[in-house]
Amino acid sequence: MATVIFTVQSGRDPSKVSSPVTGTVKDLSPLGMSVVTPKIAPDGIHIMYDTLMTTHNRIDATVFVEGDPPVRVSGRVVWFRGADEPKGAYIFGMKFDKSKGEFEEGLSLR
């Protein structure tokens, strides 16, 4: 659907930020998106929670849709699980901090 490059910021220690990871957007709306990714713990920061399983980690991402300008989004991970395809991949859902008008105004994903 679209390519996304994201970093994970620890909800427990905001100074801990992962290196960039590339994933694929599966679903996208003005309020959030789901992303298929081969990594769930880049640089040891778990995609869903910190090590105490109490704090949601944050995502900063740039969504790249062919033919449209990149869109920056940020928010928090609200769910994750193993993905059906490709084998060994994971999928997570994130809720944006604020609605993204760029998507609401008809950003057409090809």
- Please report the domains of the chain, with CATH numbers, ordered by start residue: 2-100 (2.40.10.220)
**Bigger pLDDT: 42 vs 18:** 18
The per-residue pLDDT for range 24-77, each reduced to its tens digit, is: 999 988 889 999 998 877 787 777 665 444 557 889 999 998 888 898 999 988
Query: Average pLDDT of the chain?
Result: 82
Q: Measured in Å, how far apart are the chain's first and last C-alpha atoms?
A: 6
Inter-CA distances, 78 with 35, 41, 64, 93, Å: 12, 15, 22, 6
